[in-house]
Structure 1
Amino acid sequence: MIDDRFAAECLGPVEEAVRRAAAAEIMPRFRALTADQVAEKNGPHDLVTVADRGAEAHLTAALTALLPGSVVVGEEGVAVDPGRYTALAGDRPVWIVDPIDGTRTFVRGDEGFCTLVALAHRGELLASWTYAPAHDRMATALRGGGARLDGAALRAGSPAAGAPLEIAASYPFHTTPEAKRALLRLRTEGVRARPCAGSAGLEYLEIARGALDATVFAWENAWDHAAGLLLVAEAGGAHTTLSGAPFHLAGGNALPFVTARDTETVTRIRHLLLGDHPAP
């Protein structure tokens, strides 16, 4: 039986597994990729590299050995076999893995990428790891146990009173027409919305450390969001989907969804997206 005690006990071993995967598979290829080591999955905005595949294979072996009977839902594994995603709705413990969150950034040789791992069971997030290998920074979260960055406690705090909300958002043209209309409502007084950087995981870390007020995302791949959602929650933040329901790992969420430094900010941004509330 998996529980919070197991999640706490595995914080260190998983951190070491993530660091080893990055050292073996990712960093030796950083700024050293050849053309034949990069491929498109679903067009030029969806890239995969030998580093992505190697790191996910490395983590899959290490994580399933740590917890026999568990399964991995990873970005690259699901690209090969979409049916693997259904494990998120099952009874077995699931490791949710994004080997390189921000692959396009990695391919460009920029440092804004990370490795994301989260442990979930029956739809509940228990622990998460966000590792930025180019900067050797590790953020962890444990359900009910708080969030930490390089060992120091994280607190998201609240936005400054009267200041414009700083929001990182999905590109409006990379989504459905309904979500696009909602995202365009962020173009209003009292909001400074910018496009999401290459890594969703690093944007969540910015919220958890109080350097960004909120994110608004219009896609729901669990490997992009699971680790960050728990990190922000354990730092005192909150999230909601457009319907007002919590984010569901297995999918079917009302999009866009909001994650922010506090509950009040989440509510304000959700109403703004719905168009039924004045700008924050």
Structure 2
Amino acid sequence: MARFETETFRILCIGPMHSGKTCFIDSMSSALLRKITHKVEGYGAYGGRNDCPNTEMFQMYKVGDKRSNVYFGDMPGFEKVDGITKEDILSIVEGNIPKKFSSQDATPEVQLGKGDKIHCVCVVFDCKSVDAGLPTEVKTTINTVLKVLSKKHIPYIVILTKGDELSENIQFDKLLVYESKHVKRCVRALYTEFNCRQNVIFPVINYIKESNVDDACDILLLDALREILILGRKDLEEEKASNYESDQ
């Protein structure tokens, strides 16, 4: 697992409800540790569960082993009443947690302090919702957020989950997710709607009810993580250079 010297590398997962954000974080950790794990009690792939409850608060979770300093932020989906808004996302990106997401019951593994900016954003969609057509409100919110991220030079990638629910072939060979006409249709819909590069859209298969990790799932998940770390390292280097110039 890559480390980033003394820095804590922070990744934020955003997206519609039921898109698989929490399961994606759990699955990423499972792929790195080579065993099924769960970062949030009752969430993700654990003991054969296949019901990921809705995230109610913002929290940060470490992925990888104890040496890792890479953390993923999990937060409520867009459609939830009194849930996430574009203003909330942009505040969190700058290291400011809206009060409505604080909770005495929250037990994040690392606190996001004021000024602790996010280094990369994962926008998570599920194939079934994309195929059916995303709500206008969701598309408007995401387009606004992506434009602001671009202005702030904060990198992002798009994670596309649940491709196996559109194709039985993928259930038998998960690497076929790249060849599926259904998934390709979803990829085209996303880069057309959000004007993002096709090479930042990563189809993955989350661990939902599995008891053991799977090589094909891990390949997809770690391919996405590799791109996240590449983009994040570039962002950290640019941040260091900017801070150095400011101190001169």
Q: TM-score scaled to structure 2, two decimals?
A: 0.28
Flag the structure with higher strand content. Answer: 1
Flag the structure with higher helix content. Answer: 2
Q: TM-score scaled to structure 1, two decimals?
A: 0.26
Which one has more relative contact order, counting CA pairs under 8 Å at least 6 apart? Answer: 2
